[in-house]
A and B are shown apart, each in its own frame.
Chain A
Amino acid sequence: MNEQQNVPPQPPEAPKPPWEEKPVPPESRDAREHEQVREIAAIVPDAVLEAVEFAGQVTVTVARERILDVCRACKEKLEYKFLVDLTAVDWPERPEGRFDVVYWLHRFSDSRRLRLKVRVADGVEVSSVTGVWKVSNWMEREAFDMFGIYFADHPNLERILTWEGFSGHPLRKDFPIEGIDTGAAIYPDVYPPGGGPVAGGEGE
């Protein structure tokens, strides 16, 4: 390929530049001794269940009952003023609880980020953090809409991206990718109830 021709001939002893090596994927490490984790453990003792570092990002798994305490402590004592992202991941086979609710916090003082994680079983409520960060309102609504995770004390836990009355939670692993017949009576005078355009159908 002509792209390689442009590369200046390397002296044989020089190491290859990193983009010509086979990439070395990062590995997960236990991060209980990581500075950010120890800060949390010092303020909220026995909340941290597990801590992992992967590619420089620290993930702290927190007990479900303690998440509100941890978040509040993170915001008020540890200066994590900015909730960047909140989402969920579905692991249907996992015994400790099906869902991971993932919080991704940012601290302006030293530009560090921290991921908190809670394991939630299906149908179990997790405390809403809207009281801590206002921004989490729509993010939690989205997680509810997409995964069916209930957030306790959320001011307005409604579906946000799908319509009211949609049955099912699309991002669960058991939700078929072709979509489901939602039975939505979109044009009640044209289609019989339960008929009508099928969500995610061929659209023919």
Chain B
Amino acid sequence: MGNLEATRPFPDSEEMEISFGPQHPATHGVLRVMVRVDGEKIVDAKPIIGYLHRGTEKIFERETYNGTIPHTDRMDYTAAATNNQALVGAVERMMGVTVPPRAAYIRMILAELQRIASHTIWLGTHALDIGAQTPFFYTFQERETILDLYEEYCGARLTLNCMRVGGQPFDLPEGWTGRCGAFVDQLPARIAEWERLLTNNRIWKLRTIGVGVISAANAIEWGLTGPPLRGSGVKWDIRKVFPYDRYDEVDFEIPIGANGDTYDRYLVRMEEMRQSVRIIKQCLAKLPDGPVMAKVPKVIKPPKGEFYFSVEGPKGELGFYAVSDGSTNPYRLHVRPACFINLQALPELVRGHLIADMIAVIGTLDIVLGEIDR
């Protein structure tokens, strides 16, 4: 095998370079990771991204403010509602618009449903990566109900386009709150079922405890947000720190982990789903009557200035930095993508682990390539 010898990238070492992806079952899209392995041990990993780059930020610059909303749907396509929420939040604050309370509550319900939907995808694919295929179908079954609710509300299931600057485009349809309430009432039992499959399972514990550990200080240094940061024990949630919409009127907890490993992040997300259920229940109970759209001018024209607004997306802090020159189009609309910044810590998390652990870590970071590449 002379030709094999010649093509070894490191002829003198025992290391081997593996190109993971961009077509790989476990990279959640078109992520490519160049891994240098010594046997099965990862010496270094280098994520290569950009395969899904669509120039969303450039496209934003030619759209009107409401026209950008459908484009945000396509960034983190598992959480379109929170993307919409972050964008319209930024523009509303630039314009000084106050959202009517009913619209704010509807937004919260939609966002929390989206958080559950996103976490169900995460759980399904994360478990699938670690080898348990069945949770995927159970979680998707629940997600399907959420998508049905979205379809009833705004007519789309995935790319929702369900918020507008100044409020909500439509009121809730007849009987929607009842169906939503019924769904969130039965959800905790489903979550308990998923937990019975995984939480105590010895294989699951072996695969996740102590894998991809990051300390709280390091997590802040690497800019992690969302469940990866909370899993390390930092009590940090935009919904509590900078309450937007009406999050200051509802009661919920921020779950945090202790060790910052994959298992803690798993527990944090499971608890977050329960907290979301709690928030939705309170929102449904408090849902005020009234208009869903504030009085905004037909042509949206924020004043000259710049504003950064972020929401707690399912993946982490999702921020929009809007710069306006006083015209109808955003001069610059920059996204602070949570996945992009969380993925950056991947080499830090996997160094010294085995290849199988890298799969678990990619799963636990809960990345969506649409948001990373934009």
Contacts and interface: CB of A to CB of B under 8 A. Distances in A.
A160 B332 CA distance: 20
B223 A135 contact: yes
Interface string B194-212: 0000000000000000000
A167 interface: no
B291 A113 contact: no
Interface stretch (A19-27, A32-40, A65-73): A19-27
Interface string B31-55: 0000000000000000001100101
Contacts of B308: 57, 84-85, 104, 113, 115
A161 B334 contact: no
Interface string A9-23: 000000001111111
Interface stretch (A118-126, A169-177, A187-195): A169-177
Given A19-B98, A133-B223, A27 B303 contact: yes
A26 B221 CA distance: 33
Given A89-B323, A161-B373, A163-B50, A20 B306 contact: no
Interface string A101-138: 01010001001010100000000000000000111011
A139 interface: yes
Nearest to A27: B303
B79 interface: no
A16 to B, nearest CB: 9
Contacts of A111: 241-242
A162 B50 contact: yes
Contact of B305 (A55, A83, A89, A159): A55
Contact of A6 (B62, B95, B290, B323): B290
A168 to B, nearest CB: 11
Interface residues of B, number: 57
A99 B101 CA distance: 39
A28 B242 CA distance: 21
A48 interface: no
A25 to B, nearest CB: 4
A95 interface: no
Interface stretch (B69-77, B178-186, B274-282, B293-301): B293-301
Contacts of B94: 25-26, 55
A135 B50 contact: no
Contacts of A137: 344
A23 B93 contact: no
Contacts of A26: 93-94, 96, 303, 305
B306 A59 contact: yes
A8 B93 contact: no
Interface in B325-364: 331-332, 334, 336, 340-341, 344
Contacts of B241: 111
B220 A82 contact: yes
B270 interface: no
The residue among A6, A17, A23, A135 with the most chain B CB atoms within 10 A of its own CB is A23
B321 interface: yes
A181 to B, nearest CB: 16
A7 B53 CA distance: 45
Interface string A134-148: 110111001000100
Contacts of A200: 55
Contacts of A171: 57-58, 332
| In the A-B complex, the 8 residue pairs with the closest CB atoms | A135-B223, A19-B294, A18-B98, A54-B305, A161-B50, A19-B100, A85-B336, A25-B303
30 contacts: A3-B171, A3-B291, A3-B293, A7-B289, A8-B289, A18-B294, A19-B97, A19-B98, A19-B99, A19-B166, A20-B294, A26-B93, A26-B94, A26-B305, A55-B94, A59-B306, A81-B220, A82-B220, A84-B223, A84-B336, A85-B319, A85-B321, A89-B306, A89-B334, A115-B306, A133-B221, A133-B223, A135-B341, A146-B57, A171-B58
Given A22-B295, A84-B308, A177-B61, 5 more contacts: A55-B94, A85-B308, A87-B336, A137-B344, A171-B332
Interface of B: 49-50, 53, 55, 57-59, 61-62, 93-100, 166-167, 171, 220-223, 236, 241-242, 289-297, 302-308, 310, 317, 319, 321, 323, 331-332, 334, 336, 340-341, 344, 373-374
